Structure 1
């Protein structure tokens, strides 16, 4: 390629200047921190620009997508499902668009949890601009992610490329409300091709924004009526991803590098014992637990999810946990 033989030095310098600011990262295919599930997708980008907590890309995620011009009922469903899924320990991932995307991001943040926005622009440009305040909230508790370098504006062909990342990062995709020509159906199709779980909410036969969901259900997507159905379906997959995260964190956490013996659980691991001791039997927030243990919020979120799946910990709501 010509640009590799004669790279634009000014563009490279501009990217390096952007990356020099705190909380900004460039994850390449060769980095150990490149998100595991996305790496396995056949069309994963060679690199990701991340503004915010890059470690959140390793946490178990659920993509919540849908129509930009969603109905009031669709927006209410997006908020309700995203809030419950976030409280259950899943990071809500979406595309920062108007409608369902924005409602899902905001609900996760309001629940005190991280959310990931995949962008069709460079990580420094918010599209649509009216979501700038929401993007700032996501940057502070989650991550803005893009395969496009800083300064790249929105273009129509960028959004299908963005959708393949939305489909590749999470364990599954929930389509809340979508027409038959919706980009959300592209995301769902890509997710299915990558072996992800696809969920869809049914709606009125008189609602044109329910027809895309009905089409997905006819094609094999799981019809869901409650967030608990999604959590139950994804729990084993989240546990498996959590095991991979534990292995990834083993060195910085000074955890044992050997595989646990058959029948061992997370609660037997030294770092998990440390978390349980700091947790106690009264509800405590994730931030307070991070202060007590010295562990990062991203690592704690994954560890707590595993402990919850093993029956050692309960989520008391509002981002607070306690021992059973």
Structure 2
């Protein structure tokens, strides 16, 4: 079995988890395993070193996972492929596998993460319309999720300005969540790229979205937060950006609006205040 198929089989095997995948990345990346080593279950167990109570589960699912990997028609790339974004390798917990639909060239552009509340107001939309066009026209891709609210609006503004959208989702690529975003998801794939850590038919789960947020922040040179409540996924994304030594940008809002409590708090904690598109452009950089 070639390494790429082995890694996909590993990714699909129950009981490995992010910690196990991270160990695999470290072992291969640091050349701690001979190049001619056989990629099989014994290698997997030797590298991952699972707890004894997990070994039976791993063995039971490994064979089926490898068969699925060998016949998979999904497009995907691994941490070790040339197309894997450099900036994503820099984060604490880089994904081992990313499935994709769309154009891989989108990942080579300088990019900006745009996140915010699901309950966006007209103020949030006007901020997007005011701040993003100049950024997009400079060749910057816009990275976001596909949740309602700011995510959807960010992609719509990107389309309106002939920009390149990048969406990271918390389900398999054949599932739209929410379902009403199915057309939008297809449009993003046509004009840019949709990425997911999850294989086909994997549905939404609450644990998937913080994991997705780390990828959104990890892909981006800066994260722009527009309208956010105190406890929200967008603040999780901003926190990941800070952990990755990336800049966090925040649009201030009314002290009377619940949707501005999170963004205003980010400003108190040292985020860059954004009121003009030029201030966003200053923070976007290219990784090399």
Global fold match (TM > 0.5): yes
In the alignment, structure 1 segments of 5+ residues that lack a partner are: 245-324
Please give the secondary structure, in 1, of the residue aligned with 2:75: strand
Equivalent of 1:68 in 118, 123, 128? 118
Aligned match of 2:183 in 133, 140, 154? Answer: 133
Task: Provide, for residues 209-260 of structure 1, a one-character-per-residue CA deviation record: whole Å limited to 9, x for no partner.
Answer: 11100100011100010111110232xx32xx2xx3xxxxxxxxxxxxxxxx
Aligned to 1:98: 148
CA drift at 1:14: 5.2
TM-score calculated relative to the size of structure 1: 0.68
The alpha carbon displacement at 1:30 in A equals: 1.1
1:25 Cα offset (Å)? 2.5
Partner of 1:258: none
1:150 aligns to 2:200 (yes or no): yes
Q: 1:193 aligns with which of 237, 243, 248?
A: 243
Q: Is the 8 A contact 1:67 1:179 kept in 2?
A: yes
- Aligned mates of 2:121, 2:159 — CA distance in 1: 21
Q: 1:161 aligns with which of 186, 201, 211?
A: 211
Matched, 1:5 2:56: no
**Residue 233 of structure 1 aligns to a residue in which SS?**
coil
Alignment of 1:197-212 (within 5 A): 197-212=247-262
May I ask how many residue pairs the two structures share in their alignment? 234
Query: What is the CA–CA distance in structure 1 between the aligned matches of 2:58 and 2:181, rounded to whole Å?
Result: 35
Separation of aligned partners in 1, 2:126 and 2:141: 19
Contact 1:122 1:151 in 2 (8 A): yes
Tell me how far apart the structure 1 counterparts of residues 273 and 265 of structure 2 sit (CA, whole Å).
11
- SS state of the match for residue 282, structure 2? helix
Q: Corresponding residue for 1:302? A: none
Moved over 6 A (4+): none
Following superposition of structure 1 onto structure 2, how do residues 235-250 of structure 1 map, counting pairs within 5 Å?
Answer: 237-238=285-286, 241=287, 244=288
Structure 1 counterpart of 2:78: 28
Deviation of the 1:150 alpha carbon: 1.1
Question: Which structure has the higher relative contact order (CA within 8 Å, separation 6+)?
Answer: 2
Partner SS state of residue 98, structure 2: strand
The answer on whether the counterparts of 1:121 and 1:153 sit within 8 Å (CA) in structure 2 is yes
Distance 1:218 1:11, change over 3 A: same
State the alpha-carbon separation in 1 of the partners of residues 186 and 136 from structure 2. Answer: 19
1:64–1:82: 8 Å Cα contact kept in structure 2?
no
Label 1:72 to 1:16 Cα distance change in 2 as closer, same or farther (>3 A).
farther
> Per the alignment, in what secondary structure is the counterpart of residue 167 of structure 2?
strand
| Alignment partner, residue 170 of structure 1 | 220
1:108 aligns with 2:108: no
